[in-house]
């Protein structure tokens, strides 16, 4: 027997194709970046919906992109381990619908949370654009304009130096310069928020596994202890909520997207149960 062909053949079709597509897209993104200088993650990753770089299609494409090998490995490992069980129980069509809905739902949740977090910045910028003054510019630069990259920081430093020089001789021209700068800063800042990865759909899969097989014992890797699936899912959910609410500066993980995947998955399963198609 050819063990390799038997192993691959044992993976249900939807899970198998999801694994293949994600791996192919990952290596395509690496090749395009290194050989052609094309940032596929930046083009097809999910941008904030008020960004000029946003496209509704990104709510789908973002979940097939990954930042690095560890990112794609752990996501696809979870799809392989838990997704194939769900597909065997639900069938390919229902599993694919669930996967896509939880992935898109995760993206929607991420957009909502980003809007809430960015609203003070948006309001401050809009207010300044309508009521520019030297005093308000100082407040804006100090409290609201936080560069998202070295290039943005360099541009801000260059602007403040030029602004101070011009303001001394022509305050009105300096204010017009500030309006142009703030407008560009807003565009660059909103474009900087990009979400990628299948993690939202993966967390939806974990939630579904925990609901379908709550008492199944899983063996954790770190630490190596057994735990029932329902407790595993609960602990993960609480951790994601903690990190999401905490909003730690050094943390760039989309925790709210993970929770969104679980939330949409929960309501979808409940809907199926009520309809008797579970």
Residue pair 255/236 in contact (Cβ under 8 Å)? The answer is no
Same domain, 92 and 222: yes
pLDDT greater at residue 225 or residue 19: 19
* Same domain for 44 and 181: no
Give this prediction's pTM.
0.88
- Nearest residue to 24 (alpha-carbon basis) of 65, 53, 56, 57: 65
Residue whose entry in the numeric block shows the structure tokens 């900087």: 192
Last residue of a domain, one of 174, 191, 208: 191
What is the per-residue pLDDT for 2? 42
- Do 229 and 214 meet the contact criterion of CB atoms below 8 Å apart? yes
Residue 251 structure tokens: 């943390």
Instruction: Tell me the three state secondary structure of residue 157.
Output: helix
Instruction: Clarify whether residues 52 and 148 are in a common domain.
Output: no
**How far from 224 is each of 125, 206, 219, CA to CA, in Å?**
50, 19, 6
Half-sphere exposure of 154 (CA within 13 A, CB side): 3
Q: How many independent structural domains does the chain possess?
A: 2
Question: What is the mean predicted confidence (pLDDT) over 19-34?
Answer: 96
**pLDDT given at position 255:** 74
Q: Are residues 163 and 105 in the same domain?
A: no
Question: How many angstroms from the chain centroid is the CA of residue 89?
Answer: 28
Question: What is the C-alpha to C-alpha distance for residues 55 and 48, in angstroms, rounded to an integer?
Answer: 9
Alpha helices in the chain (DSSP H): 3-9, 13-31, 40-44, 58-61, 69-78, 84-90, 92-130, 134-143, 150-169, 171-191, 199-212, 229-246, 255-275
Give the percent of the chain with pLDDT over 70.
88
Same domain, 15 and 110: yes
Domain end point (choices 167, 191, 215): 191
183-195, pLDDT tens digit by residue? Answer: 999 999 999 999 9
Q: How far lies 269's CA from each of 22, 202, 230, in Å?
A: 25, 15, 15
Distance of CA 233 to the CA centre of its chain: 20
Domain span holding position 150 = 118-191
How distant, in Å, are the alpha carbons of 88, 207, 209, 268, 271 from that of 274? 21, 18, 18, 10, 5
Q: Residue 247: pLDDT band by 50, 70, 90 thresholds?
A: low
Looking at residue 278, what is its pLDDT? Answer: 62
End-of-domain residue from the set 143, 175, 191: 191
Residue 167 CA to its chain's centroid (Å): 41
Residue 7 has pLDDT above 50, yes or no: no
Residues 104 and 124 both lie in one domain: no
Alpha helix (H) residue ranges in 32-133: 40-44, 58-61, 69-78, 84-90, 92-130
* 244 lies in the same domain as 108: yes
Residues 105 and 133 in one domain: no
For position 7, which CATH number holds?
1.20.1540.10
| Per-residue pLDDT reduced to its tens digit, 118-168 | 999 999 999 999 999 999 999 999 999 999 889 999 999 999 999 999 998
Kindly state the tokens that stand for 274.
């009520």
Same-domain pairing of 129 and 163? yes
**Residue that has been written with the tokens 């079709």 in this structure:** 13
* Structure token pair of residue 159: 């602007």
Asked if residue 57 and residue 9 are part of one domain, the reply reads yes
The torsion angles phi and psi of 48, rounded to 5 degrees, stand at -60, 140
Distance, CA of 235 to CA of 239 (rounded, Å):
6
pLDDT at 1: 38
Do both 204 and 89 map to the same domain? yes
Mean pLDDT of 56-63: 97
What is the pLDDT at residue 161?
Answer: 94
Residues 19 and 111 in one domain: yes
Task: For residues 210 and 204, give the distance between their C-alpha atoms in angstroms, rounded to a whole number.
Answer: 10
């Amino acid at each position: 027997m050819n063990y390799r062909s038997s192993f691959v053949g044992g993976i249900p079709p939807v899970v198998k194709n999801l694994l293949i597509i994600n791996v192919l897209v990952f290596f395509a993104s690496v090749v395009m970046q290194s050989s052609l200088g094309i940032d596929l993650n930046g083009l097809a990753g999910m941008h904030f919906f008020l960004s000029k770089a946003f496209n509704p299609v990104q709510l789908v494409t973002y979940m097939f992109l990954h930042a690095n090998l560890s990112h794609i490995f752990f996501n696809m490992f979870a799809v392989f381990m838990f997704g194939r069980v769900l597909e065997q129980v639900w069938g390919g069509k229902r599993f694919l619908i669930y996967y896509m809905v939880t992935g898109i739902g995760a993206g929607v949740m991420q957009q909502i949370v980003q809007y809430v977090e960015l609203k003070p910045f948006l309001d401050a910028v809009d207010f300044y654009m309508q009521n520019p003054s030297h005093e308000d510019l100082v407040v804006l630069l100090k409290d609201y304009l936080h560069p998202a990259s070295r290039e943005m920081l360099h541009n801000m430093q260059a602007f403040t130096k030029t602004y101070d020089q011009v303001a001394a001789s022509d305050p009105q021209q300096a204010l017009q310069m500030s309006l142009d700068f703030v407008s560009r800063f807003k565009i660059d800042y909103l474009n900087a928020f990009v979400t990628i990865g299948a993690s939202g759909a993966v967390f939806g899969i974990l939630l579904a596994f925990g609901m379908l097989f709550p008492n199944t014992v899983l063996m954790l890797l770190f630490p190596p202890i057994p735990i029932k699936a329902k407790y595993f899912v609960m602990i993960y959910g609480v951790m994601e909520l903690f990190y999401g609410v905490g909003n730690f500066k050094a943390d760039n993980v989309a925790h709210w997207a993970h929770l969104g995947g679980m939330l949409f998955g929960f309501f979808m399963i409940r809907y199926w149960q009520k309809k008797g198609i579970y």
